[in-house]
Chains A and B, each alone.
Chain A
């Protein structure tokens, strides 16, 4: 590949990303950070956990993303009686025209490109595990047969932070599987007007397909190729280590309120997210600003509070913001 071709690839990346974003924005009002985070996760081969109160468009965002990407989309409403087989599928007995009976695998809704796992914390841990294993391995095993999931496989899980009764909070190890945890907040008043204007008319706006599967796979390759200098990578590592309560880089707030810090997977998230962010900003190198840009959604679910932090209702975002503020950028 020549430099010219590469430059074209980079500009295409930015162009396509912007095109997708613009198309989504036809349906979704505001929530730029959520849309960016979702698309970056998709490009970075990650999955997203969306957290927000009911009725603010979590499902709508996911559905719209699926619409504009020309990818298959499935939705699973997680309930306490949902079984793993209901997600991954199972072997069922088929009878042929000749009367022969044989087992054949009936694919579950997980065999899709974009999967919306709605209210994931309402299912039992066993069922959650079935999904989370698929998220990590990108394959499901039924009986003795392993079935690969079609790339790109992208899970958007939602959970409601208000209702805790009858829910099974995701274990910390499984939370780590999510690339970003995005918090959807209530829309601003001016966004509310726009939402009302768009959704209370006879015709609601519809998003068109602007990107296909192959283009997404190319974008994934492009993003991962972005070089990162050692100093910037070191900055990402220092930021991650600062979330640990017992390292030399520990931040005072972490020492006081955190039980565990982010795993190396957290650093990977920072770096890959930083690469996508760099491309989106027209750069072909990762800067410290790119690392910081999505640090909150990348690490907020990876920092576990201790008893004191829980008792004082400390928000991990507050700790991460302090870490960002106090961790110096490399000078050389």
Chain B
């Protein structure tokens, strides 16, 4: 046979094989495209039933998928025949040991030699023996089975009723976090108010806490405002502690005056141990037993009462006055009046006992409020609304800078004293400013609330010329003596927050943790020393 005949035999087989390979590839890609489109359609059908998402219409997906597949098909067909690939397929499937690949490569080189002619001739003979249909049969991809299953599922979905999404996934935004925290604090405040009881709480503090709770429930406050309210409430709750301390000191002094008397020994013990209700009962017993006492005992009792009533403690003034009346009545041998006066002393003791119980409750409430303050201090910021205000304020600053360029200040800053919040009002500035001094585009009026830390000056003002000293000079004088201090409570919360943020923020990568731990273990002081 001629060389051309052999070559055409080889080329003819390669073309037939290439066509079959291409057809199988089209089926392969069609199966993938069908699975993809059906899968997406199924997802579009199922997803809205599970989660609240908006999905494109199914028709659009089918059209888009078909268009993409058609474009891919056109591109793959216009790439031209790839007979090298067909030669590779023949070699692989017919086990020809690279005969077709070699023959086709040398055919393309257009070289001619007896060796190449012999090679092509042998390849031609082999090609004639080949059965392209058997070598590359039409293969239906298994993916069509998957597509069939997907199609069935899609049809089944039409019979499943949809009652809206089963699951609701909402990303936690700043506002939701704030809302969750707000509910937690409202619950804590509610517990604080309800748990301690209306009767025992300080009325001012109670009013403050109730107002804060009301604002928190109505979402009309920020964490910073809540912190402020809690501090005020705690201050109010703490106010009674000083008076109670003075009362305790006065009662101790009074007890010391009664010490030594046999008749009043138990009464003194009750006073010293702050068991005021018991002390009141003992005093009432004594009043009933006054008639049984002899003259000497009465005289001693009168003297003790007289000495006790002379102590200078205004916080128990009512008690001391009744005690003096009792002493006076005993001296004039008016036992009935003395009994009545002692009953009044007992009543005064009971009232002090009640006040102490109330203050105890106040202190517990103050501790709870303090704990809430610490928790609040670690909150990253105020409410979302407040955050918006801060953004507008930053624009104000930019606007002020622009105003400064034109030397026309548009806002006035007023610094308030530490105790009361000051306000600053001004227009919302144009962030870009207007150096030419043209009309500014003003936004809504905003309010800046500032809370300065409360500073307590414990300094002693000079005795002389007190009237002449300017308040600022008085402050400077106290500062120079270094007696000015901030309340520990005001300092502690921020410091604790700093510690907490440092511990939480300074994260050590896992791979270095062991190293860091070893380092600190190595530098740890020896505990045995």
Q: Is the CB of A231 within 8 A of B101?
A: yes
Contacting A332 at CB < 8 Å: which of B82, B103, B118, B122? B82
Q: How far is the CA of A226 from the CA of B98 in the complex (A)?
A: 14
Known: A229-B98, A283-B99. A6 touches B119 (CB 8 A): no
Question: Which residue from chain A places its CB closest to the CB of B3 in the assembled complex?
Answer: A3
Q: Is the CB of A330 within 8 A of B88?
A: yes
CB distance from B9 to the nearest CB of A (A): 16
Contacting B115 at CB < 8 Å: which of A225, A231, A232, A287? A225
Contact mask B69-113 → A, CB, 8 Å, 1/0?
Answer: 000000000000010110110001000011101110110000001
Q: Is the CB of B98 within 8 A of A6?
A: no
Q: Is the CB of A232 within 8 A of B101?
A: yes
Question: Which residue from chain A places its CB closest to the CB of B87 in the assembled complex?
Answer: A332
Tell me, yes or no, whether A272 is within 8 Å of chain B by CB. Answer: no
Q: How far is the CA of A113 from the CA of B352 in the complex (A)?
A: 131
Q: Which of A1, A284, A286, A290 has the most chain B CB atoms inside 10 A of its CB? A: A284
Q: Is the CB of B115 within 8 A of A286?
A: no
Q: Is the CB of B105 within 8 A of A231?
A: yes
Q: Is the CB of A3 within 8 A of B85?
A: no
Q: Which residues of B contact A287 (CB under 8 A)?
A: 97-99, 102
Known: A330-B88, A331-B85. A285 touches B114 (CB 8 A): no
Contacting A227 at CB < 8 Å: which of B85, B88, B116? B116
Number of A-B contacts defined by CB within 8 Å: 69
Q: How far is the CA of A232 from the CA of B117 in the complex (A)?
A: 19
Q: How far is the CA of A1 from the CA of B117 in the complex (A)?
A: 11
Question: Which residue from chain B places its CB closest to the CB of A281 in the assembled complex?
Answer: B97
Tell me, yes or no, whether A200 is within 8 Å of chain B by CB. Answer: no
Interface size class of B (residues with CB under 8 A): 20 to 34
Tell me, yes or no, whether B121 is within 8 Å of chain A by CB. Answer: yes
CB distance from A289 to the nearest CB of B (A): 6
Contact mask A260-286 → B, CB, 8 Å, 1/0?
Answer: 000000000000000000000101111
Q: Is the CB of A289 within 8 A of B84?
A: no
Contacting B105 at CB < 8 Å: which of A1, A5, A229, A288? A229
Q: Which residues of A contact B85 (CB under 8 A)?
A: 331-332
Q: Is the CB of B99 within 8 A of A332?
A: no
Q: Is the CB of B98 within 8 A of A3?
A: no
Q: Which of B84, B85, B98, B113 has the most chain A CB atoms inside 10 A of its CB? A: B98
Known: A3-B114, A331-B85. A286 touches B102 (CB 8 A): yes
Q: Is the CB of A285 within 8 A of B88?
A: no
Q: Which of A10, A231, A286, A290 has the most chain B CB atoms inside 10 A of its CB? A: A231
Interface size class of A (residues with CB under 8 A): 20 to 34
Q: Is the CB of A3 within 8 A of B105?
A: no
Q: Which residues of B contact A7 (CB under 8 A)?
A: 118
Contact mask A218-236 → B, CB, 8 Å, 1/0?
Answer: 0000000111111110000
Contact mask B432-475 → A, CB, 8 Å, 1/0?
Answer: 00000000000000000000000000000000000000000000
Q: Is the CB of A3 within 8 A of B97?
A: no
Q: Which residues of A contact B82 (CB under 8 A)?
A: 332
Q: How far is the CA of A232 from the CA of B119 in the complex (A)?
A: 15
Q: How far is the CA of A225 from the CA of B102 in the complex (A)?
A: 14
CB distance from B11 to the nearest CB of A (A): 15
Among A1-58, those with CB < 8 Å from B are 1-3, 5-7, 10
Contacting B97 at CB < 8 Å: which of A1, A230, A289? A289
Known: A2-B114, A230-B105, A231-B98. A285 touches B119 (CB 8 A): yes
Known: A332-B82, A332-B88. A3 touches B117 (CB 8 A): yes
Q: How far is the CA of A331 from the CA of B113 in the complex (A)?
A: 26
CB distance from A28 to the nearest CB of B (A): 29
Q: Is the CB of A285 within 8 A of B99?
A: yes
Among A100-155, those with CB < 8 Å from B are none
Q: Which residues of B contact A5 (CB under 8 A)?
A: 114
Q: Is the CB of B87 within 8 A of A284?
A: no
Contacting B84 at CB < 8 Å: which of A10, A227, A283, A332? A332
Q: Which residues of B contact A6 (CB under 8 A)?
A: 114-115, 118
CB distance from B275 to the nearest CB of A (A): 86
Q: How far is the CA of A36 from the CA of B116 in the complex (A)?
A: 26
Q: Is the CB of B103 within 8 A of A285?
A: yes
Q: Is the CB of B101 within 8 A of A332?
A: yes
Q: How far is the CA of A53 from the CA of B401 in the complex (A)?
A: 95
Q: Which residues of B contact A2 (CB under 8 A)?
A: 114
Q: How far is the CA of A305 from the CA of B122 in the complex (A)?
A: 43
Q: Which residues of A contact B97 (CB under 8 A)?
A: 281, 283, 287-290
Known: A227-B106, A232-B102. A1 touches B84 (CB 8 A): no
Q: Is the CB of A285 within 8 A of B98?
A: yes
Q: Is the CB of B98 within 8 A of A1?
A: no
Q: How far is the CA of A216 from the CA of B98 in the complex (A)?
A: 28
Q: Which residues of A contact B88 (CB under 8 A)?
A: 330-332
Q: Which residues of B contact A286 (CB under 8 A)?
A: 98, 102
Q: Is the CB of A227 within 8 A of B102?
A: yes
Q: How far is the CA of A10 from the CA of B97 in the complex (A)?
A: 18
Q: Is the CB of B118 within 8 A of A232?
A: no
Known: A232-B98, A330-B88, A332-B84. A284 touches B105 (CB 8 A): no
Q: How far is the CA of A229 from the CA of B106 in the complex (A)?
A: 7
Among B98-151, those with CB < 8 Å from A are 98-99, 101-103, 105-106, 113-119, 121-122
Q: Which residues of B contact A288 (CB under 8 A)?
A: 97-98
A-B contact pairs, 15 of them (CB 8 A): A5-B114, A230-B105, A231-B98, A231-B102, A231-B105, A284-B118, A284-B119, A285-B98, A286-B98, A287-B98, A287-B102, A330-B98, A331-B92, A332-B82, A332-B88
Enumerate chain A interface residues (CB-CB to B < 8 A).
Answer: 1-3, 5-7, 10, 225-232, 281, 283-290, 330-332
Shortest beta-carbon contacts, A-B, top 8: A332-B84, A287-B97, A229-B102, A285-B102, A287-B98, A332-B88, A229-B105, A331-B88
* Besides A281-B97, A285-B103, 18 new A-B residue pairs in contact (Cβ under 8 A), listed by A number: A2-B114, A3-B117, A6-B118, A7-B118, A228-B102, A229-B102, A231-B101, A284-B119, A284-B122, A285-B98, A285-B99, A286-B102, A287-B97, A290-B97, A330-B101, A331-B92, A332-B82, A332-B85
